[in-house]
Structure formats: structure tokens, C-alpha cells
Structure 1
Amino acid sequence: MSETVLYDYWRSSASYRVRIALNSLGESYRSVPVDLLAKAHKQPEHLARNPQGLVPVLDIDGERFTQSLAIIEYLAETRANCGFLPDDAVGRQRVRTLSFAIAMDIHPVCNLGVISHVMANAADGEAARRDWMRKFIGEGLAAFERLLDHPATGRFCHGDTPTMADICLVPQVYNARRWEVDLGACPRLVAIDQNCTEIEAFARAHPDRTPR
């Protein structure tokens, strides 16, 4: 059987999601750090893995995959009873809505390429980065909190077991705290994040426990 390899960056939200998913499944994998700050993701070696120059890249089952949510959905389809997506169509739609609200709306405007451009075009790059992160993460999570005002919300984003939505939420809350975003108006997502961090699969995926 081929080795499972995750090309990873410790602070990458998308990579963090895939680490949680693999840990949740008990999948053994080798982590290969790709240093984004050193621009290793733009080097020919990594571009051969992913022409977008992004992480994560996952080698698994003899295949190579990119895009974190597509990877998680692949795992949901190929690993029995993983629970990443509900069994019912309405539940799957809700979990995808929550997941996409983070992965497709908050994350893209806060990734390294966008922020580098913002900083390069500001008189005070560090101040611009801080303000940008607080605005877009704060507004995005405030909207996410309102999405959680739903009868299907339980101890986790959808029910009482973690799904792909929680896998997306936890890395985004990590980023929010890193940039000192005020989460005082988001009690539901803060409580869900706490519930997740008490699960070893989530805790072991934390950036502080990831090879650099």
C-alpha cells in the first residue's frame, strides 16, 4: 500500500483542516512541511505537485489530491462511518453551507497571497494586515454565529458529533484568536470550538503540535 503523505504548512488553515480529518479517521500519514514564508510553495518542486502553488497536497490511496474540502469529501466517500457529512441530503446541505461560509468566504480574502498584496500597497503594512484580518474574520464569524441559530445545532455545528463544518471552524477560530478578533458576540461558535479542542484528533492537529 502506498504511503500517505501530507504536504503541509503548520499555520495553513486548509492544511489544519486536513490534519483534523486524517486524525479523526486514525489515518497514519507523513507530514512534509512546505514553508510558505520562504516561498517554498512557489518553487518548481511544489508546483509540480499543485500548479496553484497552494497547500495542502495529499498523497493517499495511490492518488494525489488538492483543495482541503474536496479532500475531506473524498475521505467521507471512501472511509465508512466517518461522520464528516450527514446521511440526509438536508443535513449535508447545511454542513456544506457552514463549511463553505468559512472556506470560500472568510479564508480566501485572508490568505497569504491576498495579505501580502494588501501590505505591499499600504503605508503601514503591519497595521493594514491587522485591520484587514480583524475586519474580514470578525464579520465572517459574526455571520457564521447567526447561521448557528438553527435547531440542528448541537454540541457541534450540526448535531452532537463533529462534521466537516467543525473541521473548518476550528482553524478559523485559531486565526481569529491569533489576530485578536473580538469573539464576544459569538458564544455558540466559541463553545463549539471548545468542545472540539477536547477531542484528541483536533488537539493533535493544532499548529503548535505540527512539524515546521
Structure 2
Amino acid sequence: MLRTPTRGNGLFNGSYGGLAQLTFTPSDSIALGLTYVNSYNVLTGTGSNASNFPARLASFGLDSDSNLPVSSNSYGAQASWQLNRRFAIGGWAGYTNQRILSNLATPTGSVQRGDQKIWNWAVTLAFPDLLKEGNVAGIVVGMEPRVTSSTNRTLPEDKDTSLHVEGFYQFKLSDNISITPGLIWLTAPDHNKNNSDLVIGVVRTTFTF
């Protein structure tokens, strides 16, 4: 993944993310997957601020395009089991080792090198053809990326745990168009129990060609 062709953003000296995935289907109703991602200076935009180090650079008087090198190796396992025609259960678990590769002096102090261990997980329930053939209802309960251990004094681990609870229903309007309203509840946002819970309503429209 390359952002721009400018200096410092090339194939060997810019931000990138590379992914490899293996999928196993031991039966028609069971699917298993393993995923590996290697990245350099990539902002995921998910999980706590502590797990998204480039997003925290502004607090040190820097921007997310700073030359501070950050690399990560992520590992994931996924599973899905369709128990019958109208019910399926699944989920995933993921682990990331994120490493800040050098120290950096900033206008407000210094950013220290160090490692972070980041975990995430979720359990999913799906109800195909609920109320009408072609429609799908789903429930997701999980934890967005959370720093459970850190050797970096600049970014300590997340002390609390936030849960992501989501429900959605996909309406199939035609073979090419579907609309999916959903509701998301976040407890202790940013893995901080001092933050008030958030409830977010979303609507997605999907066009298939």
C-alpha cells in the first residue's frame, strides 16, 4: 500500500502493509482462517489511541507523517460454523506486536522506543433469511484493539477494557442493492472507564454489479 509517489513514500522507504491469509474448509458448514499482516508506519484507525501510535503524534507537537519509524506484525485466527440454514456462529482473535524503532525528541518531550502487545477479539452470530429470504441479521460482541503490555513509557498499556456490541439487519432490496441499518454500543471508549458509553447508529447501502 503506497500513499503518494513523493520522496520518502516509495516502495522501500514509505508506509506499507502486506497481508497473507490461509483459508481451510474442512466441511461445507465450517470455515477456518489464519492471517498475517506486516506493516510499517500504517495508521489502522481502530482500537484505542495507545494502539494507534501515529494518531498520538499530535500530542507531542508532531503530525502523523513524522519520520518516527513504527513497525508491526499482526496475527489472526478466524472461524465460522453454520449450524443450520438459519443460524451461524463465528469469531476471531488477533494479536499485534507493534514496535517503535527509535527515540525522537519533540517540542513537548521525547518519544521513547519500545514494544507494545495489542489484542482484539470478537464473537459473531448470523441469522440468514430472517423474516425474508435473502435478508441477514447479525450480532457482534468483541474488544477493539487494546494494548495489554507496553515497554514504551510514552504509551503505557490500556488499564481498562472496552466492549464493542453491534447489531444489524441487512435488507435485500434487489439482486443488486441492499440496505443495512445497524446500532453500535461502545462501553468505556478508548478502553477508559472514565469515558461515557457511546451509542452510534449507522446505515450502509451496498450496490453489487
TM-score when scaled to structure 1? 0.24
Higher relative contact order (CA 8 A, sep 6+): 1
Higher Cα Rg, which structure: 2
More helix by share: 1
More strand by share: 2
TM-score when scaled to structure 2? 0.24
